[in-house]
Amino acid sequence: MHSPLPRSFFNRNTITVARALLGQKLIRLDPKTNTLVGGLIIEVEAYLGPHDKAAHTYNHHRTPRVETMWGPPGHAYVYFTYGMHHCMNVTTRPADTPQAVLIRALAPTDNLSLMYTRRKKAKRDRDLCSGPAKLTQALGIDLTHGNTDLTTPPTPYSPLCILQIRKRAYPSSHIVATPRIGVAYAEEWAPKPLRFYLRHSQHLTTP
DNA sequence: GTGTCGATAATCT
DNA sequence: GATTATCGACACG
């Protein structure tokens, strides 16, 4: 049916990748039930590397936590923050060009019942994946998934994957660009329009 | 619907 | 010891 997006998809300009990810599907193979969980990517943010004051690799920052961002494209960069949340990015561009796209929201499509068991507080479908830490919780993604190759079909040892749903990116008229969320500290980089979402989606971080 | 605030621990200084 | 690419609870109306 659908195939994983190839490495070449991710080895491009990060803004191009961010926009082209909208409408593609992030899935995880759940080890306990051996079923797929996931949804369509509807909101993302681009992080542009050593010059981007909001990026974890700003000023060529390179520590064990961000090592994945320095590696090859098409891998999952997962980080832990605020003492309780995980967020997932997709690496872009070649090794040593440490850029990535943060996945901020999904329109859940596969295995909503499993998502509800993981997201105890969720009352309705739009509570499941409408935020970067909500979707990792819904899919059961944590630090053990760091550096997973996203270009291979899901297996127990590489359970994350992004499937190609669309051949081409949505036309610009379908995509809204705004400043990124939660990066007010980033000075002149804070207002840059590097957050992208699908217009009219019902599953965004803030409606 | 909007706004404020506290939780909580990996990571780095 | 400080910081954090967030969330949910609660207040308000």
Rounded to two decimals, what is the model's pTM? 0.97
Strand B close to A143 by CB, under 7 A? yes
- Angstrom distance, A66 CA to B11 C1': 11
Q: How far apart are CA A70 and CA A134, in angstroms?
A: 26
Residue A62 has pLDDT above 90, yes or no: yes
Determine the average pLDDT of the residues in A49-75: 98
pLDDT for the residue A206:
80
Determine the average pLDDT of the residues in A123-135: 97
Q: Tokens standing for A140?
A: 């059961």
Q: Which nucleotides of B are covered by protein (CB under 7 A)?
A: 1-2, 7-13
Determine the average pLDDT of the residues in A38-53: 98
Determine the average pLDDT of the residues in A92-118: 98
- Contact (Cβ atoms closer than 8 angstroms) between residue A198 and residue A42: yes
- Angstrom distance, A36 CA to B10 C1': 29
Residue A166 has pLDDT above 70, yes or no: yes
- Contact (Cβ atoms closer than 8 angstroms) between residue A140 and residue A26: no
Of the pLDDT bands very low, low, confident and very high (cuts 50, 70, 90), residue A207 is low
